[in-house]
Structure 1
Amino acid sequence: MEDYALFCSGIKPVLEQGIENEVVLEERLLSDFILELKECNANIIIIDVIHCSNDGLASIKKIKRKFPRIPILLIVNTELSDLFQDYISLGVNGIIFNSSKPEDLLEAVKVLQKGDDYFPPKVWVILKNYLRSKRVDLSTDQSDKQQLTHREVDILRLFCKGFTYKEIGASLNISPRTVETHKKNISSKINVKTTAEMIEFAIQNNLS
């Protein structure tokens, strides 16, 4: 029997454990969800792509097109690992496994509420292995790599390991605010907007 910790606990009760969390909308059909979402003041969208048709790809596209500013958190299993790159390319802001603990879901929601992405180390391990097995064409301009300083490359590699701002700062003996500044500089240099895109760049350029 597989471990479905989140589903066994019930996603809605887990989310509402925190006083600051309130589930304002819950729907099974995408059409109903999009229609009602217009009337709700939602700040995070959680999609269970395990039980979505087409692995949730079409649903994510439609939701992102209509509500581009609302971050999306996906609930996945390892069988969907081949699609992690597609999910990230579509602009999802976080991924959590159905076998994760309820407190992991709460942590993911808190991170997204702060405006950051939530991708646990397991996601990047799976994604890196997948990209390497496919022998991704490293077509990114090599000058992008040369623009990054040694410190920026170090920080990029730590992000690839799933480290937080605080953990990276402690590892490099700098403040979390300095880490954030470096991240902004990295994103500007390689022309990406999200942590996910930044890490995907690192993977494709053997910097992870």
Structure 2
Amino acid sequence: MSEKPIRVLIVDDHQLMIEGLKSLLEGEEDIAFVAGANSMAETMAFLEKNVIDVVLMDINMPDGSGIEATEKIRALYPSVKIIALTMHDDISVITKMIKAGASGYVLKRTNMNEVTEALRIVHRNGKYLSINTQNIIMENLGSTTEQTDPEEDARPSLSSREIEVLNLVAREYSNEQIAEKLFISERTVEAHRRNIFIKTKTKSIVGLMKYAIRKGLIEPENDDR
């Protein structure tokens, strides 16, 4: 007698991403796409009435975050496994997501075959970190062993994407222009900008630029707008 397929719920604020993952999973006999949700409210409402084995969870949501949603799901439905599937490559986000109860962390830029591998491993009560995620963790573990001064220790860890956004902000790109250049939504740009201000503890563009210049985060301009 064959085992039942792994029932998967995909949570992402981009419907196009859900549809793409759905197409990927449809070719797997042991994995079944059950539904997609675009917000935390939709996710929790669906789980109240349906049985799911694994949730593929994005971090960005219009009404919360994947970290918050993971905490709630693990508290209310402990049998449900969660894998973060996100573009966030910030070590602090990775750490928070794992602490919230995620059993896996996969970056969207990775080979999508890793998604199916992660689903199978996590469903069997294992843990899964994509290769890119492992590299980020190892790099940060290595940096903590080096002697640094207190000021550098306090420096926030901006992700590579956040640094890209920061440089475009410095060049006076609008949110719409940044979204077009980086092939992301304006809502995602706004989330990056918000995170940058929070991490750098700055309150204005002027303050942010002063911080970025002091820390050497601004790259030489090569304007190709």
Where 1:10 maps in the other structure, the secondary structure is: helix
Q: Does 1:126 align with 2:136?
A: yes
Gaps of 5+ in 1: 1-5, 137-208
Tell me the distance in 2 between the aligned counterparts of 1:130 and 1:64.
Answer: 27
Match of 2:37 in 1: 27
Give me the whole-angstrom Cα distance separating, in 2, the residues matched to 1:90 and 1:37. 18
Pair 1:65–1:16, CA change in 2 (3 A): same
Which residue, 53, 62, 65 being the options, matches 2:75?
A: 65
Does 2:61 align with 1:48? no
Q: Specify which structure has the bigger relative contact order, considering alpha-carbon pairs within 8 angstroms and separated by 6 or more residues.
A: 1
8 Å contact kept, 2:40–2:63: no
Note the 1:45-194 alignment, pairs <5 A.
Answer: 45-50=55-60, 55-133=65-143
Q: Is the 8 A contact 1:72 1:93 kept in 2?
A: yes
Q: How far did 1:63 drift?
A: 1.6
State the Cα distance separating 1:54 from its structure 2 match: 5.6
What is the match of residue 20 of structure 2? 10
User: Do residues 37 (structure 1) and 68 (structure 2) align?
Assistant: no
SS of equivalent to 1:63: helix
Partners of 2:88 and 2:53 lie apart in 1 by 27
Distance 1:43 1:128 in 2: 30
Segments of structure 2 that go 5 or more residues without pairing to the other structure are 1-15, 147-225
Q: For residues 58 and 123 of structure 2, what CA distance do their matches in structure 1 show?
A: 19
Partner SS state of residue 85, structure 2? strand
RMSD: 2.7
* Count of matched residue pairs: 131
SS of the residue 1:100 aligns to? coil
Q: Deviations over 1:132-166 (max 9, x none)?
A: 54569xxxxxxxxxxxxxxxxxxxxxxxxxxxxxx
Q: Which residue of the partner structure matches residue 202 of structure 1?
A: none
1:42 Cα offset (Å): 0.9
CA distance in 2, matches of 1:9, 1:21: 15
Match of 1:171 in 2: none
Distance 1:40 1:122 in 2: 33
Do the aligned residues in 1 keep the contact of 2:39 with 2:62 (CA within 8 Å)? Answer: no
Q: Distance in 2 between matches of 1:15 and 1:31?
A: 24
When you count helix as a share of all residues, which structure comes out higher? 1
Give the Cα–Cα distance (whole angstroms) in 1 for the partners of residues 139 and 100 of structure 2. 20
Secondary structure at the aligned position of 1:25 is classed as strand
Q: Deviation per CA, 1:157-201: give whole Å up to 9, x if none.
A: xxxxxxxxxxxxxxxxxxxxxxxxxxxxxxxxxxxxxxxxxxxxx
Alpha-carbon separation, structure 1, partners of 2:38 and 2:142: 36
Hey, what's the Cα distance between the residues in 1 that align with 2:142 and 2:34?
41
Distance 1:8 1:66 in 2: 24
Distance 1:40-1:9 versus aligned 2 partners, 3 A rule: closer
